[in-house]
């Protein structure tokens, strides 16, 4: 259908619960392709898969409002990893990109 019509299909999927002892996504854990809930075809057939990660349980309110975009799969090109950081503005209700210098780098990824 996509190839025939030239349109894009965007699918939003939930993620599985983490194994016991692992850091959950709600606590800022890193999301991978195997975390996608539902059919395995979501990771197999998709051209691009992205994830939005956020530590909902952070002590600091400013940290709770920051999300990371992670590219999990790119069929053409293959460049994956952290893509950007976003901050939710509680006043406007909008999400905006933030400068990496305005927020400390995420744990374990000094290249971001």
State the pTM of this model: 0.74
- Quote the CA–CA distance of 101 and 27 in Å, as a whole number: 22
Extract the tokens encoding 66.
Answer: 């920051």
- Quote the CA–CA distance of 62 and 112 in Å, as a whole number: 19
- Under DSSP, is residue 41 helix (H, G, I), strand (E, B) or coil? helix
Q: What local confidence, expressed as pLDDT, does residue 111 receive?
A: 46
Q: What local confidence, expressed as pLDDT, does residue 110 receive?
A: 46
- Quote the CA–CA distance of 47 and 74 in Å, as a whole number: 6
Mean pLDDT by 10 residues, the chain (112 residues): 86 79 77 82 87 89 88 90 90 88 57 46
């Amino acid at each position: 259908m996509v190839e025939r019509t030239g349109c894009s299909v965007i699918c939003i999927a939930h993620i599985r619960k983490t194994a016991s002892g692992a850091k959950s996504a709600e606590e800022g854990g890193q999301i991978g392709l195997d975390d996608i809930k539902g059919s395995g075809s979501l990771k197999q057939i998709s051209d691009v898969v992205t994830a939005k990660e956020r530590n909902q349980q952070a002590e600091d309110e400013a940290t709770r409002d920051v999300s990371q975009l992670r590219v999990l799969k790119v069929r053409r090109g293959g460049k994956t990893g952290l893509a950007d950081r976003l901050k939710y503005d509680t006043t406007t209700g909008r999400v905006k990109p933030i400068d990496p210098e305005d927020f400390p780098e995420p744990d374990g990824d000094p290249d971001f």
